[in-house]
Each structure stands twice: as C-alpha cells, then as structure tokens.
Amino acid sequence: MLQKIMMSGIGGQGILFSGICIAWAAMEEGQYVTYLPSYGAEMRGGITSCTIALSDEEIASPVASSPDYLVIMDNQSLLRLQNQTVSGGEVFINSNMVTDRPVRGDIEVLEIPVNDIAKNSVGIRYANMVMLGAFVGRTRLVKPVTILDNMAAILGKGKDRFKAANIEALKAGIDYFSQGGGRA
C-alpha cells in the first residue's frame, strides 16, 4: 500500500533530516521508498518541506498531491498544506509554534508540544526529533527502533556528536501518544 508523508517547517528546523530518517529506516526495513526535498527561494527562514513515499511496491511518483500524513512544525506550513491532506488523513502539529488549527473536519489532528518536550529533555534544537519520535511512535509507518539503531549511519561522518541527543529526543517523542499525550 502506498503511503505519502509530507513534512514541513521553517528552514533550519531539521525537517529534511527528519524526512531522511524515515526514508532510511524504510530502506533498512526493505520497503520501497522515495524521498523528495523541496526548498523555498530563501536560504534561511523560508519554508522547507519534504515528501516521503512508502510502499510495498514500486513508487510511481515521489510527489504527494494529497499526502496521507502531514507533519507541521510551523504555522505557515499548516496554512499552506492543510487543504491538501487526503480525506481521513492525519496531521501532526507542533502545538508550541502552530497557532492556527486545521479547519477541515475530515482529518485527524494530533498535537504535540515538541518545543516544550525538547526543552525539558536535550534542548529546543532537537524539537524535530521529538516530533519524529511522536510521528513514528504513533503511525508505525517505520519501526521507531529502526531509526534509533541507524542514527549513527544516518548522521554520517563527523556528525556523531549529535547522536546521543537525537536518540534522547526521539525517545521522548516516541511514547508521547501511548502515554496518553494530547489530541486536538
């Protein structure tokens, strides 16, 4: 079955890295996967988003005109993308930074105060990892443990110093919903 995830936020929030984590884990698990980043015109402060397509068979198009899942880290992204979500889709929202809420009644909204959680854990810079943890913890589109086990490889040469904090932040997010974390 083909599933498409779109993740969006402000450049610098670690959106693309989160996307790569999912794609990498899917690859390790033997799923068909494509990852497609897209950049705004501005280098800093513009919207960055990426689309991850997961499937058990060949993926025709890496583009998602109507994603099944949205991961939204900032308000502008919500306003831009909420209407594209497929009916019945799930929208994960960073409730610390997104002030609006989806107006559609046919999608499921899941809120996570990722900034707060990150601040209480390894620091606000890792908010994207908290969100990622919550997302995979909830949807199980890839197994959270796959991301944890492959973090060093995903980070690549010379970035080892982020590994521990990333893992910590991920774990803080993974159990968010199963421990009764909030909804809309």
Partner 1 sequence: MKGTDAIAEAAIQAGCRCYFGYPITPQNEIPEYMSRRMDEVGGVFLQGESEIASINMVHGAAATGARAMTSSSSPGISLKQEGLSFLAAQEIPAVIVNIVRGGPGLGNIAPSQGDYYQATRGGGHGDYRMPVFAPASIQELYDITMESFDIADIYRTPVMIIGDGMMGQMMEPIVKHAQPPADLPPKDYILTGAQGRPSRILRSLILHPPEMEEHNWKLKRKYDLMRQTLPRHEEYMIDDAKMVVVAYGTAARIAKGAVKRARAEGLKVGLMRPITLWPFPDEAVAAIAKKAKLFLVFEMSTGQMIDDVKLAMSGGVECEFYGRPGGVVPAPQEIQRIIERHWLQKEL
Q: Are 118 and 127 in contact (CB under 8 A)?
A: yes
Looking at the DSSP bridge assignments, the partners of residue 33 are 54
Three-state DSSP state, 96: coil
Residue 154 near partner 1 by CB under 8 A: no
Which of 57-65, 80-88, 105-113, 173-181 is the region at the interface with partner 1 (rule: CB under 8 A)? 57-65
Q: Is 46 in the site for partner 1 (CB under 8 A)?
A: no
CB of 58 to partner 1, least distance (A): 7
| Shortest separation between residue 20's beta carbon and partner 1, angstroms | 7
The reply on whether position 61 binds partner 1 by CB under 8 A is: yes
**Any bridge partners for residue 112, and if so which?**
94
- The single residue among 65, 87, 99, 179 that binds partner 1, judged by CB under 8 A, is 65
The C-alpha atoms of residue 95 and residue 80 are separated, in whole angstroms, by: 17
Angle at 85 between CA 9 and CA 167, to 5 degrees: 45
| Interacting residues with partner 1 between 15 and 44 (CB under 8 A) | 20, 23, 27, 33-38
